Amino acid sequence: MTVPIRYRFAVNVVPRAGILDPQGRAVEGSLVHLGLAGISEIRVGRRVELTVEADTEDDARRTVDRLAGELLANPLIEAYAIELLGAIAPLAEAGR
């Protein structure tokens, strides 16, 4: 019997290229107060971390991809990237 593995992912959602990002603009506007130079094109997005139980990493990625495409990001206005943070074999398995 296969025991599911727990995969930890991060989904990074950012406004798509060409979409006005007023939050990024606002952050950029504050740079002058910091006295920092050479910073531009700030885009503010969102990071969502989650754990998925699956038999394989591919299965887990498919689940995360569906979640990201249907809920976490709106493909009309946002792009997303999925990042694997780690995998944890269940304790029961490890103890065997």
Partner 1 sequence: MTVRIGVVVFPGSNCDADTLHALTIVGAEAVPLWHESVDLGGAAAVVLPGGFAYGDYLRAGVIARFSPVMRSVAAFASGGGLVLGICNGFQVLAEAGLVPGALLRNRGLRFLGRDVHVVPERLDTPFTRALPDRRPLRLPIAHGEGAYFADEASLDAIEAAGGVLFRYATADGRAVAADDREANPNGSLRAIAGVVAPNGNVAGLMPHPERATEAVLGSDDGRLLLRSLVEAAAERASGAAVAVGAR
Binding site residues, partner 1, CB under 8 A: 19-20, 22-23, 26, 46, 71-72, 74, 76-77
Q: Cβ of 9: how many Cβ atoms within 10 Å?
A: 23
Choose between 19 and 85: whose C-beta lies nearer to partner 1.
19
Q: How far is the CB of 26 from partner 1 (least distance, A)?
A: 6
Longest dimension (CA), the chain: 60
Choose between 5 and 72: whose C-beta lies nearer to partner 1.
72
Choose between 71 and 85: whose C-beta lies nearer to partner 1.
71
CB 6 within 8 A of CB 57: no
Tokens read off for 72: 């976490």
